[in-house]
Structure 1
């Protein structure tokens, strides 16, 4: 009989990203997606710190759990400032938007 015991395959995401960043095309796409992933991270962290579920946030905002899931999942549609403000209020945060000077590319 085969050994059916769960044996996870080790995978180092950070090492994979470091390796892939050596490819110019990958690096460019990765950098373009960085702001979206930063936003998602902020949303998830704020909700976790608030102790709220997606459903609780949705109820407080007046939307659906699936809408919150799409917002936190980085769907193709960019959220409006109004939506972000409502989300921030629901999880007990202030929405802060800032522009930062671009980082100079090392050559």
Structure 2
């Protein structure tokens, strides 16, 4: 292939690929994401919990956010999980259409 028809990717060379392990943190996932993933099923099994997500604490630290049907469910949710703060938000019932 002549230089005028050379592919724009011809000089592209990938040095190394990083394996994707979302529970390990670092590139491809964060540590708090792994914690959320490991505990999501148990949190969703609590009466009154309608969802689990990632967010920030009031001071800007990584946090796990737990969505609640009503405020009475707050007492069932731990204040922290594996060292990460847990924030609760009352959203009411969440329905997917």
TM-score calculated relative to the size of structure 2: 0.32
Higher strand residue share: 2
Q: For the pair shown, which has the larger CA radius of gyration, 1 or 2?
A: 2
